[in-house]
Chain A
């Protein structure tokens, strides 16, 4: 399984930017990095993905280092509703047949406080 490493927990003040790091040193050259989050009692929610260029959407920004060994998810103005477990995923494509076969690690528990 492809491995990613994330800090187990982080805190952030409401309204501030939350920067969640991830190491994915074994990622292959053609694999995207995906970020999902899981709010308590809900299913995982897709946030963003990227290959080598920085990406931005309505939810977050993704900064990927030039060597692609790590990335940072940025929530620019965190709210209390952003409290969740955030997962950084290297899809580890197994021969092109199982793109949806994701390995969810322990993720980072982000707590946004007032």
Chain B
């Protein structure tokens, strides 16, 4: 019974490149959430998606960041033209439904921008 799978586990990008982070939710889960944890800071909500829909993107930076959760395949968090300040751990979580369902988190992708 696989949990939330994120890949890659570690990603190194040079400034100006693009980063693509992938998340496969737990089987049967149709709700996906992305969180970011900057060095020495707490986890911050970024975006909430259901299949083919962005439900809440209030935590996403206005530029360079986008997320999708297509009908088939994993959810993707895309960061264009990365800068050093994007270096962080990015966590994906999933849940089976809205309501009082706990979130199941993956082990994150650690992005380092050089």
Contact = CB atoms under 8 A, between A and B. Distances in A.
Interface stretch (A18-26, A44-52, A70-78): A44-52
A43 B98 contact: no
A49 B102 contact: yes
A99 B44 CA distance: 14
Contacts of B48: 98, 100-101
A101 B103 contact: no
A43 B56 contact: no
B1 interface: no
B55 A97 contact: yes
Interface residues of B, number: 27
A32 B100 contact: yes
Interface in A23-73: 32, 34, 36, 38, 41-46, 49
Given A49-B100, A99-B101, A104 B107 contact: no
Given A44-B103, A100-B45, A104-B35, 4 more contacts: A99-B95, A99-B101, A102-B43, A105-B42
27 contacts: A36-B103, A42-B107, A43-B106, A44-B43, A44-B103, A44-B105, A49-B100, A49-B102, A96-B98, A97-B55, A97-B56, A98-B48, A98-B56, A99-B95, A99-B98, A99-B100, A99-B101, A100-B31, A100-B95, A101-B48, A101-B56, A102-B45, A102-B103, A104-B35, A104-B42, A104-B44, A106-B42
